[in-house]
């Protein structure tokens, strides 16, 4: 038997097929081959068409089926990982009403701030664990206030993974974990967040059926099975936001464990069994994939919007003829601290870690006579790592300490500079594994369908590829560079 994982990112959609028996990767593909378009009609906006995710999912799935040549009926179940916080609105015909307002869109922050004040900060934090901020519910409030004709057509709202599951099965559903990432779940009451819905003027009727994160949530419809070359007996049995799913992919499920990613955005995600929240909501607390009312498993999430997107932007600007590996080689010739060049990576919308301020990316310390491309490339990677460390200091204040950080060996973690700098400044050991979001989603599907009887069975084949220990002999150099970076940041916040 086989398990299929779908990962709906903002840059691409990836599909992976694994062997249920041994967890080995059978085939994998992603589309588009260039970064998926994000539309920004105004500064701070970011939208994508849900139909675009579906079309790219179909292309990647076709590649996987062609490469693997597996019989459709051997695909036991499907798991879905997706970019968090996106707002998908459908009408009664299950047609999308408008493009999705995605995670890095900052237009709704004012509505979240207003609700936080009106409801009361302490009440929000103790019930919702977060400020409504710029999350999914606030995005819907923006639509209600600015596009009332479209809002009037809303039948249900969903997250991006819910939309893909609906396209596959015809079932309109969501999860507690998904609702919590939209700040639509009340942890104290273990129910939908009526206090926020009432403030925003929404009816809870717009929320789909709530299903468990791990469960048989539906099956591929006959129409879609015929269209895509799947079997109508294949189950949809797992869905989760990309960061909880990344933690699952790394078998990070228990208190004290920490996962991180550094793709378009960057995330550090720690698991707790206690109610933990930052009073300023600079890091956020959501229901983890294995959270229940009886056994709390909460994910404390630090998100930096400007991570891989900054590195990709710099490649277009100064490294167009270079591969990322060549960029890393140039950067490695420059000493720690980039000889005084400092970059703040905050150029991808308002940053929660900066109290939802949008300060833009900043470049400082350039000397035309001594600095070259290598200094810019190293300063970029250091700036991203230092933004991680800045957020991790906030996480430490609420009891999430990083002694070991797990990550997939992908994206920015392919760079020795990036991972050595993260280990050096944080003091944490970095462990890199042979997994990604789509493979994790496939394993999650196996748990949800009952193919795997436990998480230990599902992750028995997870392999550690590399361990990076902090270089204590360079600790002072890393701290000096971080101090210089932090001094620049303080000028803007």
Task: Write down the pLDDT at residue 263.
Answer: 84
Task: Write down the pLDDT at residue 348.
Answer: 87
Kindly state the average pLDDT of the residues 235-245: 97
Task: Write down the pLDDT at residue 169.
Answer: 98
**∠ CA 122-304-338, rounded to 5°:** 135
Tell me if 8 sits within 8 A of 83, measured CB to CB.
Answer: yes
Q: Give yes or no for residue 384 having a pLDDT over 90.
A: yes
Q: Give yes or no for residue 350 having a pLDDT over 90.
A: no
Share of the chain above pLDDT 90, in %: 91
Tell me the pairing of strands 235-241 and 75-82: parallel
DSSP-derived letter for residue 126 is: H
Radius of gyration of the chain (CA): 22
Q: Give yes or no for residue 256 having a pLDDT over 90.
A: no
Q: Give yes or no for residue 160 having a pLDDT over 90.
A: yes
Q: How many residues does the chain have?
A: 493
Task: Write down the pLDDT at residue 337.
Answer: 98
Least confident of 167-171, 383-387, 399-403: 399-403
Confidence tier at 27 by pLDDT (50, 70, 90): very high
Tell me the pairing of strands 47-48 and 25-31: unpaired
Q: Give yes or no for residue 356 having a pLDDT over 90.
A: no
- φ, ψ of residue 110 to 5 degrees: the values are -65, -35
Q: What is the pLDDT of residues 395-415, one digit of tens each?
A: 998 889 889 999 999 889 999
Q: What is the pLDDT of residues 84-130, one digit of tens each?
A: 999 999 999 999 999 999 998 989 999 999 999 999 999 999 999 99
Q: What is the pLDDT of residues 429-445, one digit of tens each?
A: 999 999 999 999 999 99
Task: Write down the pLDDT at residue 444.
Answer: 98
Confidence tier at 275 by pLDDT (50, 70, 90): confident
Task: Write down the pLDDT at residue 395.
Answer: 94
Provide the terminal-to-terminal Cα distance of the chain, rounded to the nearest Å.
Answer: 53
Kindly state the average pLDDT of the residues 303-329: 92
């Amino acid at each position: 038997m086989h398990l299929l994982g779908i990962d709906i990112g903002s840059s691409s959609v990836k599909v992976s097929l694994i062997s249920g028996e041994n967890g080995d990767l059978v085939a994998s593909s992603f589309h588009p081959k260039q970064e998926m378009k994000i539309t920004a009609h105004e500064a701070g906006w970011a939208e994508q068409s849900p139909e675009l995710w579906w079309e790219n999912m179909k292309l990647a799935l076709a590649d996987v089926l062609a490469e693997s040549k597996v019989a459709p009926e051997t695909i036991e179940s499907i798991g879905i990982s997706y970019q968090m916080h996106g707002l998908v609105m459908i009408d009664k015909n299950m047609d999308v009403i408008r493009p999705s307002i995605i995670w890095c869109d900052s237009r709704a922050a004012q509505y979240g701030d207003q609700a936080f004040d009106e409801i009361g900060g302490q009440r929000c934090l103790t019930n919702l664990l977060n400020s409504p901020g710029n999350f999914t519910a606030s995005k819907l409030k923006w639509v209600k206030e600015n596009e009332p004709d479209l809002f009037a057509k809303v039948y249900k709202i969903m997250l991006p993974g819910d939309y893909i599951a609906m396209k596959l099965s015809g079932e309109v559903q969501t999860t507690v974990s998904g609702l919590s990432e939209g700040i639509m779940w009340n942890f104290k009451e273990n129910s939908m967040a009526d206090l926020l819905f009432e403030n925003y003027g929404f009816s809870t009727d717009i929320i789909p059926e709530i299903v468990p994160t791990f469960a048989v949530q539906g099956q591929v419809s006959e129409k879609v099975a015929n269209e895509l070359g799947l079997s109508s007996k294949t189950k949809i049995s797992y869905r989760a936001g990309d960061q909880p799913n990344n933690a699952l992919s790394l078998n990070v499920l228990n208190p004290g464990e920490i996962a991180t990613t550094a793709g378009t955005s960057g995330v550090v995600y720690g698991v707790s069994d206690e109610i933990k929240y930052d009073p300023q909501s600079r890091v956020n607390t959501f229901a983890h994939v294995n959270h229940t009312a009886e056994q709390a498993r909460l994910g404390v999430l630090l998100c930096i919007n400007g991570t891989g997107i900054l590195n990709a932007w710099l490649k277009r600007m100064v490294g167009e003829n270079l591969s990322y590996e060549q960029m890393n080689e140039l950067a490695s010739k420059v000493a720690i601290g980039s000889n005084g060049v400092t970059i703040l990576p905050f150029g991808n919308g308002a940053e929660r870690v900066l109290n939802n301020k949008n300060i833009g990316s900043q470049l400082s310390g350039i000397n035309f006579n001594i600095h070259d491309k290598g200094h810019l490339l190293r300063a970029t990677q250091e700036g991203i790592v230092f933004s991680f460390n800045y957020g991790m200091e906030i996480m430490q204040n609420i009891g999430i300490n990083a002694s070991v950080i797990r990550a997939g060996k992908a994206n920015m973690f392919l760079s020795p500079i990036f991972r050595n700098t993260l280990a050096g400044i944080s003091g944490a050991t970095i462990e890199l594994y042979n997994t990604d979001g789509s493979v994790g989603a496939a394993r999650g599907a196996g748990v949800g369908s009952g193919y795997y009887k436990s998480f230990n069975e599902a992750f028995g084949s997870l392999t550690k590829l590399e361990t990076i220990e902090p270089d204590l002999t360079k600790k002072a150099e890393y701290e000096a560079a971080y101090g210089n970076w932090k001094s620049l940041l303080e000028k803007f916040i």
